[in-house]
Structure 1
């Protein structure tokens, strides 16, 4: 490695344990702790103590044993974030079976692919709509047997099946599960567009869980820590935070809807927040729109400028100028306190991951009193490998390695990671495993640098992946190639890196467009500019986009597109000699169109008098 930095462990971690032991250790340490809270009927928050939740997990595990689930069997969960998801996940893994998470937004075709690749034998669906997806492809999934619906009493049903299974039988199965055993297969988009299953062991999770606790004691170990988790548990980052919470002194609040997040903040009062950049962008935009355009809007705009200036001065290490400090103190009392109140009034830190965080958003929140500690990770490493410390954090970096984790930069500038959390491999793809993991180093596909203090800065990406502001990794090839099957489309290039949704820049083939118009009995067009404005042509492009969207989940689908009156050619630098679109060149060429038209910020509504 050209550069290398390792953060040593302060306390050894025994990773030859299973994931259930994390919950078991919390119960032994603090059985009456409020472990999980959730919103029940009527909007009231309900609580499981550590002991109660362990009993629930064991009851479910016994039911799975009674239903014939054996070590190595794959059990899928397709549902929103909930206590049921968490309980089933732990129960499945506690007896040596494998949890296979499925996003509730996945299409039936994606469900079929995942079920067959991991040989899913049993599935838990949240509701009838999710069950219908499974039933649509059941005849093509040879291994699948039982399908249970959470909203139709699945938890009670499985627990009832387990009533005749004794504690000793459960613990015999649980004790047989070791750190090297496979715990889960998590599917993530690969460079070809086909989801790849990442094999994660019990030891992978155990190691990185306790590494995280040791690395972030202010967040995990102080008394009465509270985390409100609203990200989907199918995402390994959110799933990791469950175990992090159990290993610390954290009460985990579970919320299934981002629509109610502000009300949930007010009711739950978290001490720290986990989110993707899009969450913080939405909160900032909501505050801005609420301020409006009048006097209140001007005050908010000035407060934003002061917050960012204060943050930049703080980060510079040269001290805060007196006048800036006075202005900041004024806005802290009259503006920033209101913004902090949005989070419930108790929040101290926020951890942002899953996608790159825009520096202006980070400086804003840091300036109002909420440090956004940006981190970094991948499914292949059980989510996190780096995070900014609570003291001495540096905006613009992804922080320092967690304890026991090594970061390196190879001769090509690629960021590489080594730790006991690196995955076992890519399910059914030994060739990809050999390509991505060399001598224990996972090659991330990202370009970066490491300074002498261990702070890592990302500088680019090798992979042709789009990472939205919501943290969704989108491989564009499948949608692009589908859209280009239209007779009028020359090229289709997806954009959306660090943006709230996926969009497309589409060029036309003039000759083919006119040929298609003739076949439709419509008038031809003299040039690409008129072709781009032609309503018949636009309708055909929209049809092609809609068809392509059927192949992927909503988060991967194209929400907006723009037809440009220009060909992409090798001569203008937008195509390679093999006719592949150069995404970066095209994105920069149409930067103004992308920023000011496709992703134009919404103007706040003004009240008519």
Structure 2
């Protein structure tokens, strides 16, 4: 059996343990799911390696991959590049041309592989500003652009395979594998250097927490592979012999889930919120006894506690709710889904409860790009799941809480450092402990709870600390609120910018026969809408101390988005930019 010490060992391990999985990697092309077996995956990766060596690629060269969607080619290129001793530079497709230029120049990438014409257009806009990039290849067939298939042709001749094997043997587990530029909420992206050992150890130490049936599970992958969370999960899938189907796009996830019928997906909380809101909206359309049963089941789900903690009578009711209501949720998600893994941001506890009640548990985990990424994760088995926490710390990793509450982490998963920035590295890795910038606590049972982002916490002028994420997550439980950012650093009270859920507001107005206008500008200016959202704020404010309550808010007509600059590619708020965009509203609130 292949021992796994470097990232390119994973497909070989899969081949050894599971012979050859016929649908190891599957991508939809022209409406048809095209399957790539483990054997073909390895064969093409080797062809890529042979081609790169013939093209003069050397150890420690950098090769960028930019793709708007997850696809088989990404994984083949990844392994093909790593086998030569060079490194992959995954780049988010949605960032600006300026960031493309910065990352390609900072990393020194010599080749760039893009998915489609839109990414190529961005690259072409800066082509004369990235002199180190020798050539650009595309995965899609694009006129005037070299295609990645040319590498497979160059690598057809296997006579230099021995050179590939020599290069593989030279790669040590401590060697750099990839540089991931964090999207960042402010400033220029930071290049996080992760070694083979960083990611391999994280996969192997996380593996016991994920209840896969080895060789028999099917995943739908749609979170960006350029983010370490999904990328690490893909290596984990290979380790467990999971068939991986790549979603076409976020917009088509609902259709893809029904087609693929996955047993597992990874998601970020915002997507789970949308799934829940869609289910809830369908429930409101029911009538009579069906509607009563739906909301009875929802109420039951929102009170869920694992391991029978609510008692026998609750469990009997839950069994009935699962049969009558929750089973239909599962059908709507393909019928086979029995696990969702969530990361990147805090999950609302109501979602953790209601999906677990529906027998589609969300295993929330915690980590950062700098930690490869998993630090802790929940596990339904052996009482390893606790609502409102990010689970217990994985094996091989140690966590301690600093005097100010900051979470410090130590282990083989901690990054090598920030590329070309020793000063910044020394500021976050002190005495072998990585300072996460998150505030948290570990309870008596060993569960880690995140309370806020250290850098995002602020004080009011009265000296009271405010943890904005906690308040924002609570406020987003309202179906009227799509996005919210709590403000008030140095001010007398907390306030908020709010982007309403325009679709739901229109639905509410239609049901109640209220005229509110048709444009977003008209809706956000309507006194009836403002008053109704004020009701929601008042209701949810009751969960907080007086100093934490949202005293004032302003609505924005913009849809907060990645493209608009409001959100990072992992859907986190870019607080500095949001503040800059709505500085007039800020002055309106506090003047």
TM-score bracket, shorter-length normalisation: 0.7 to 0.9
- 1:156 paired residue number: 149
Instruction: Report Cα offsets for 1:402-444 as digits up to 9, x if no partner.
Output: 1111111112211011110110001111111111011221110
* 1:328 has 2:302 as partner: no
Deviation at residue 208 of structure 1 after TM alignment: 1.0
Are the aligned partners of 2:182 and 2:190 in contact in 1 as well (CA < 8 Å)?
yes
Deviation at residue 494 of structure 1 after TM alignment: 8.7
- Counterpart of 1:120 in 2: which secondary structure? coil
**Partner Cα separation in structure 2 for residue 259 and residue 413 of structure 1:** 39
- 1:339 paired residue number: 329
- Counterpart of 2:24 in 1: which secondary structure? strand
Q: How does 1:244-393 map to 2 (within 5 A)?
A: 244-295=236-287, 296-309=290-303, 311-312=304-305, 314=306, 318-322=309-313, 324-391=314-381, 392=383, 393=385
- 2:511 paired residue number: none
Q: 1:172 aligns with which of 146, 166, 178?
A: 166
- 2:406 paired residue number: 414
- Counterpart of 2:253 in 1: which secondary structure? helix
Are the aligned partners of 2:407 and 2:436 in contact in 1 as well (CA < 8 Å)?
yes
Cα distance change of structure 1 residues 226 and 542 upon mapping to structure 2, 3 Å threshold: closer
Moved more, 34-43 or 555-564: 555-564
- Counterpart of 2:140 in 1: which secondary structure? helix
Cα RMSD, aligned residues only: 3.4
Q: 1:228 aligns with which of 210, 213, 220?
A: 220
**Partner Cα separation in structure 1 for residue 209 and residue 586 of structure 2:** 53
**Partner Cα separation in structure 2 for residue 500 and residue 168 of structure 1:** 58
Bigger relative CO (Cα 8 Å, ≥ 6 apart)? 1
Deviation at residue 142 of structure 1 after TM alignment: 2.3
Q: Which runs of 5+ in 2 are unaligned?
A: 458-467, 477-482, 486-494, 503-526, 528-555
Instruction: Report Cα offsets for 1:305-346 as digits up to 9, x if no partner.
Output: 12222x13x46x644241x33432332222111101122222
- Counterpart of 2:110 in 1: which secondary structure? strand
* 1:86 has 2:71 as partner: no
Q: 2:39 aligns with which of 51, 56, 75?
A: 51
- 1:207 paired residue number: 201
Are the aligned partners of 2:24 and 2:241 in contact in 1 as well (CA < 8 Å)?
no
Q: 1:113 aligns with which of 102, 113, 118?
A: 102
Deviation at residue 264 of structure 1 after TM alignment: 1.6
**Partner Cα separation in structure 1 for residue 566 and residue 332 of structure 2:** 38
Deviation at residue 143 of structure 1 after TM alignment: 0.9
Are the aligned partners of 2:248 and 2:256 in contact in 1 as well (CA < 8 Å)?
no
Cα distance change of structure 1 residues 431 and 568 upon mapping to structure 2, 3 Å threshold: farther
- 1:134 paired residue number: 123
Cα distance change of structure 1 residues 343 and 320 upon mapping to structure 2, 3 Å threshold: same
- Counterpart of 2:441 in 1: which secondary structure? strand
Cα distance change of structure 1 residues 88 and 319 upon mapping to structure 2, 3 Å threshold: same
- 2:445 paired residue number: 453
Q: 2:64 aligns with which of 76, 83, 87?
A: 76
Cα distance change of structure 1 residues 25 and 110 upon mapping to structure 2, 3 Å threshold: same
**Partner Cα separation in structure 2 for residue 35 and residue 378 of structure 1:** 30
Deviation at residue 549 of structure 1 after TM alignment: 4.7
**Partner Cα separation in structure 2 for residue 69 and residue 494 of structure 1:** 51
Deviation at residue 361 of structure 1 after TM alignment: 1.1
**Partner Cα separation in structure 2 for residue 344 and residue 294 of structure 1:** 22
Cα distance change of structure 1 residues 14 and 41 upon mapping to structure 2, 3 Å threshold: closer
**Partner Cα separation in structure 2 for residue 565 and residue 271 of structure 1:** 46
**Partner Cα separation in structure 2 for residue 405 and residue 65 of structure 1:** 37
Are the aligned partners of 1:191 and 1:463 in contact in 2 as well (CA < 8 Å)?
no
- 1:425 paired residue number: 417
**What TM-score does the superposition give when structure 2 sets the normalisation length?**
0.76
**Partner Cα separation in structure 1 for residue 339 and residue 186 of structure 2:** 37
Are the aligned partners of 1:109 and 1:551 in contact in 2 as well (CA < 8 Å)?
no
Cα distance change of structure 1 residues 292 and 49 upon mapping to structure 2, 3 Å threshold: same
Cα distance change of structure 1 residues 500 and 156 upon mapping to structure 2, 3 Å threshold: farther
Are the aligned partners of 1:36 and 1:254 in contact in 2 as well (CA < 8 Å)?
no
**What TM-score does the superposition give when structure 1 sets the normalisation length?**
0.74
Instruction: Report Cα offsets for 1:242-290 as digits up to 9, x if no partner.
Output: 1111111311221131222122222222222211111211111111222
**Partner Cα separation in structure 2 for residue 246 and residue 500 of structure 1:** 39
Are the aligned partners of 2:183 and 2:568 in contact in 1 as well (CA < 8 Å)?
no
